[in-house]
Amino acid sequence: MNCRHCRNPLEHVFLDLGFAPPSNAYLTKADLNGPEQYFPLKLYVCEHCWLVQTEDYAQADQLFSHDYAYFSSVSKSWLDHAARYTQMITERLGLNGDTHVIEIAANDGYLLKNFVEAGIPCLGIEPTTSTAAAAEKLGIPVVQEFFGVALAERLADAGKQADLIIGNNVYAHVPDINDFTDGLKTALNANGTVTLEFPHLMRLIEHTQFDTVYHEHFSYLSLHTVCRIFQQAGLRIWDVEELPTHGGSLRIYGCHAEKSISVTSAVDALLAEEARRGLRDLEAYQAFQVKADRVKDDFVGFLIEQKRSGKKVAAYGAAAKGNTLLNYAGIKPDLLPYVCDAAASKQGKFMPGSHIPILSPDVLIDQHPDYLVILPWNIVSEVTEQNVRLTELGTKLVTAIPKLAII
């Protein structure tokens, strides 16, 4: 296998999580009687451009199906994040009724609905039928296909180049990152801005966030590597912000390479911090497997201990990251009988691989587990607020990453 960006041969494994099904491939009861598709879940690091990437097996159209179950609007904290971003970027770029906004991976319209309400013309690009339909119900025009150069050229030919292109948590999901970035260049007007948000590889390593590794994430990104990818496409990054979302993300601001806008000091400072932490050195990557295995072993030990003690354990959040953890740890319903999730699209289904049933959070008060494992640790505060009554009854909240903790 060659690097998806620079095409150099990949020789160094960053993380090997064995085999797993696609982490958003939730199962119906009928599915449990049939075979389940598994793919290798292994990451390599390129020692030339330092792009961390999955092994080539799963294809995007196998991962993002018409009934894709992730709806962004389920999370109130994410809706609030989107609303704050809309207000900030509108003011910063002076967006108005004469400008045009494109969001790639618009999902269910969680973000673009804010631009619609503000009277700013926008377009969503979303390949999955279920979420695209939800966005269209909010009055958002949607192009239902994957983004790349081919689509960008059609948009440009139709006079629909954007003053702002938004991509939140999509850059890591694209199998051909060069084609996607070339598409950004093509779809952006001469004075336009691109903002992309993606989990920061530096924080993944720092906090042992191996559960953010799944087939839908083809790439794991540092600022250094994204700067290289942008440069090859004729773009450049002129500002960056560090965000708390998803355990530590970056929001980068890009433009055409020839645009006369100064690079902020934040870009150089973060590039220097990545270098200081060894992100351009193999040792930082080769030490990660041991850290991930320690987290997995501690989590399995905790569940076995509770089972032997007769304690009741449940989980909250049927998230992709939870599926990675459960499948790598080999957890089945004997150790974790059910997972609760607020998304109606997931309730009544089963977690891929582990086949743990997904229930409504309404059952928690009646079931009253001794421990509730919060699988999406990035929204611990939100889940804690939603389960105050449960904790008042004595349930203890647990997270497994970056290390096992009873809250």
Q: Quick one: pLDDT band at residue 72, thresholds 50, 70, 90?
A: confident
Identify the weakest region by mean pLDDT among 66-80, 99-113, 345-359.
Answer: 66-80
Q: What is the mean pLDDT of residues 219-229?
A: 98
Q: What is the mean pLDDT of residues 189-196?
A: 98
Burial tier of 383 (Cβ tally within 10 Å: 0-12, 13-18, 19+) = buried
Query: What per-residue confidence (pLDDT) applies to 67?
Result: 52
Residue 62 has pLDDT above 60, yes or no: no
What structural domains and CATH numbers belong to the chain?
Answer: 72-285 (3.40.50.150), 294-406 (3.40.50.720)
Query: What per-residue confidence (pLDDT) applies to 340?
Result: 97
List CB contacts of 87: < 8 A, sequence separation 6 or more. 114
When the pLDDT of each residue in the chain is averaged and rounded to a whole number, the result is 94
* CA proximity to 343, closest of 325, 361, 322: 361
Residue 63 has pLDDT above 90, yes or no: no
Q: Please state the pTM of the whole predicted model.
A: 0.90
- Give the angle 43-243-325 at the CA atoms, nearest 5°: 40
| Cα dihedral sign, 124-126-131-133 | positive
| Between 66 and 125, the higher pLDDT residue | 125
Q: What is the mean pLDDT of residues 368-378?
A: 96
Which amino acid is residue 253, in one-letter code?
Y
Q: What is the mean pLDDT of residues 100-118?
A: 97
List, for residues 131-181, the tens digit of each pLDDT value. 999 999 999 999 999 999 999 999 999 999 999 999 999 999 999 999 999
Whole-angstrom distance, CA of residue 312 vs CA of residue 326: 17
